[in-house]
Structure 1
Amino acid sequence: MESESTVTTCYRHPKVESHVRCTRCDRYICPDCMREAAVGHQCVECVKEGARSVRQARTAFGGRIATAPVVTYVLIGLNVLAYLGELVRSSIVDRFEMLGRGLVGPDGGHYMWMADHPSDYHAEGVVAGEWYRLLTGAFLHLPVSEGTFGILHIVMNMLTLWNIGRVVESQLGRVRYLTLYLLSALGGSVLVLLIAPDTPTLGASGAIFGLGAAYYVMARRLGADMGQVNRFMAGLLLWLLISAGLTSWQGHLGGLLAGGVVTLAYAYAPRERHRSLIQASACVALLALLVILTVAKATELAA
């Protein structure tokens, strides 16, 4: 008497005959469900489960390792697009540059603030509720009509962002890096608001100074050769002094301080399961401080 051999089928496709088992769950799988593994084949579900269980590689500061500095590319692209917008419509500068307080006249012109201004003049700037200027000003640069220095403003800033931004992003990961950049830009604008609220400012320099501070703190934390790093910081601080008579030193200093605070939190948070929470809490605390300072100063200016 002859015995019939049992026909085995794929667990996902019951009508397809299969003779290969998944090396992980031992279920039969057809060619469409097979995935190459280190030994044999695995089914689709086991491959997905394995991917979830694999721990993602992290940088020394807790960020996910990225193969390309995508955020740096995007930031440069946004700055260049904003500059092209300025070339098409110069009024973008007056509308979005950082300004604590100012006046718009009946002729559409922009004037210095006066507490007792005529009724046909109206306030503009942060004092008028235009809080977006705290960030939008960091994506604008001197218009080309300012001559050679106007062009050099964006060229030098973007070259610096390209050189140092890629290094910082690779160490921090995209989320931490973007947070650092935006908080540095905001820190620069808030210091401008506190010290020179009547002075219009613009440029990515505050954020870039924050990246410079991050570069220094990270190098110290990693025990890198500080020779080149110290030379870079010396040049950055020298430019901070020189720029006092040319550009907004308040924005530079504010970005430097904010970037330093954020990176200290990144670099020295305990390497335990709550590291990300501690880093995020430090960033939220800095943001809260900047908001409180902005509200207090705007209230004072409006009085």
Structure 2
Amino acid sequence: MPDPSVTYAPRNADNYCYRHPDRQSFVLCQRCGRTICPQCQTPGAVGVLCPECMREQRANAPRVKPQVVTRMNSLARSGGPIATYVLMGLLALGFLVGLVPGAPSRLAYIGPYATIEPWRIITGLFVYNGLTSILQLAFNGYMLYFFGGMIERQIGSIRYAALYLVGGLGAEAAVTLVQPGSSVLLGGTAAVFGLFGAFYMIQRHLGNQAVQILVIVALNVVIGLVVGTPWTAYVGAVLIGGLVGWIFMRLQNRSQRPQQIGATVAVAVVLLAIILLRSAQLAGLL
């Protein structure tokens, strides 16, 4: 009970939170000037804001896209090799995944397993075999940046991404057919060689020389023969990449777009059929 002998000052409502009248405070919202308690205070650019003012400020704030999205849009508008950077990022991610114990063996392309574990057809083009593959990653990244960027600017991002994948399918089909005992692929090297084949055909179509590509391919085939790696994957990727590059160059007019897409899809379907049928045969399913 209040002491009747004591005179109390009248309560000043301005010194209490407008949302919690039982909480005394002397802090004002920077925008509307209402008193707010610590629970209702949100730090602003200057001072603090009440919940209503903060909600209004956020609703009226301009939408800012993440920096990665902004950068990608800028690259796309400027004609930059956006697909090349995406592939390089996926290869880097595949390298990190390959550091996880057991991941390479579960994600590598292995011929007899392709039918019962079909995800290996894609993951085998990106995942690496642990830390020992760091030089392979560096080689693939450099080749993608150097050759891939030039190819992408000439044929476009979508065709370039399709070329990478179809070239990888060509490598897997070749190694599964010719070297079933060595049909284990990891990393993007085989798919990168598909870009080499396409680059050669594009340069020939433009009347330029591309002998350096043939030298790189020949050296890797020789190395494969010496150390026992599946060299047929490189040859298959180069041949299929060259075929797809030839399709892109021969059917590059806008009116020929349906034929170009149809021919590329047909090549991919044939390669997938070869991979799955041969894989089923190796696994004893046929």
Could you tell me the percent identity over the aligned residues? Answer: 30
Identify the residue that residue 66 of structure 2 maps to in structure 1. none
Equivalent residues in 2 for 1:187-202, closer than 5 Å: 187-199=170-182, 200-202=184-186
Work out whether residues 175 and 232 of structure 2, in 8 Å CA contact, stay in contact via their aligned partners in 1: yes
Equivalent residues in 2 for 1:116-195, closer than 5 Å: 125-127=113-115, 129-144=116-131, 146=132, 150-195=133-178
Work out whether residues 65 and 170 of structure 1, in 8 Å CA contact, stay in contact via their aligned partners in 2: no
Work out whether residues 184 and 207 of structure 1, in 8 Å CA contact, stay in contact via their aligned partners in 2: yes
Paired residue secondary structure (2:111):
coil
Identify the residue that residue 219 of structure 1 maps to in structure 2. 203
Equivalent residues in 2 for 1:1-303, closer than 5 Å: 67-87=79-99, 89-101=100-112, 125-127=113-115, 129-144=116-131, 146=132, 150-199=133-182, 200-224=184-208, 226=209, 229-246=210-227, 247-269=229-251, 271=253, 273=255, 275-303=256-284
Quote the offset at 1:136 in angstroms. 0.8
What does the per-residue CA deviation read over 1:166-205, in whole Å, with 9 as the maximum and x for residues that have no partner?
0000001011111101100111112222223343221211
The 3 A distance-change label for structure 1 pair 271 and 82 is closer
Paired residue secondary structure (1:72):
helix
Q: How many residues align?
A: 207
Work out whether residues 66 and 174 of structure 1, in 8 Å CA contact, stay in contact via their aligned partners in 2: no
Q: If the length of structure 2 is used for normalisation, what is the TM-score? A: 0.68
Work out whether residues 108 and 124 of structure 2, in 8 Å CA contact, stay in contact via their aligned partners in 1: yes
- How many Å separate the matches in 2 of 1:197 and 1:66? 44
**Shift >3 Å, 4+ stretches:** none
- How many Å separate the matches in 1 of 2:86 and 2:252? 31
One-letter amino acid matched to 2:230: S
What does the per-residue CA deviation read over 1:203-232, in whole Å, with 9 as the maximum and x for residues that have no partner?
2111111111111111111123x1xx2123
Q: Rg larger in 1 or in 2?
A: 2
- How many Å separate the matches in 1 of 2:83 and 2:142? 15
Quote the offset at 1:69 in angstroms. 0.5
Work out whether residues 85 and 92 of structure 1, in 8 Å CA contact, stay in contact via their aligned partners in 2: yes
Work out whether residues 193 and 237 of structure 2, in 8 Å CA contact, stay in contact via their aligned partners in 1: yes
Gaps of 5+ in 2: 1-75
Paired residue secondary structure (1:139):
coil
The 3 A distance-change label for structure 1 pair 170 and 91 is same
- How many Å separate the matches in 1 of 2:247 and 2:167? 14
Work out whether residues 142 and 153 of structure 1, in 8 Å CA contact, stay in contact via their aligned partners in 2: no
One-letter amino acid matched to 1:262: V
Work out whether residues 135 and 189 of structure 1, in 8 Å CA contact, stay in contact via their aligned partners in 2: no
Work out whether residues 142 and 154 of structure 1, in 8 Å CA contact, stay in contact via their aligned partners in 2: no
Work out whether residues 207 and 255 of structure 1, in 8 Å CA contact, stay in contact via their aligned partners in 2: yes
One-letter amino acid matched to 1:134: I
Quote the offset at 1:76 in angstroms. 0.5
What does the per-residue CA deviation read over 1:81-126, in whole Å, with 9 as the maximum and x for residues that have no partner?
1111222x1211011001023xxxxxxxxxxxxxxxxxxxxxxx22
Q: If the length of structure 1 is used for normalisation, what is the TM-score? A: 0.64
- How many Å separate the matches in 2 of 1:66 and 1:210? 26
Work out whether residues 126 and 188 of structure 2, in 8 Å CA contact, stay in contact via their aligned partners in 1: yes
Work out whether residues 252 and 260 of structure 2, in 8 Å CA contact, stay in contact via their aligned partners in 1: no
Work out whether residues 111 and 176 of structure 2, in 8 Å CA contact, stay in contact via their aligned partners in 1: yes
Paired residue secondary structure (2:180):
coil
Gaps of 5+ in 1: 1-63, 102-124
- How many Å separate the matches in 2 of 1:254 and 1:66? 34
Quote the offset at 1:284 in angstroms. 1.3
RMSD: 1.9
Work out whether residues 97 and 127 of structure 2, in 8 Å CA contact, stay in contact via their aligned partners in 1: no
One-letter amino acid matched to 1:236: V
- How many Å separate the matches in 2 of 1:301 and 1:153? 28
- How many Å separate the matches in 2 of 1:71 and 1:270? 19
Quote the offset at 1:259 in angstroms. 0.5
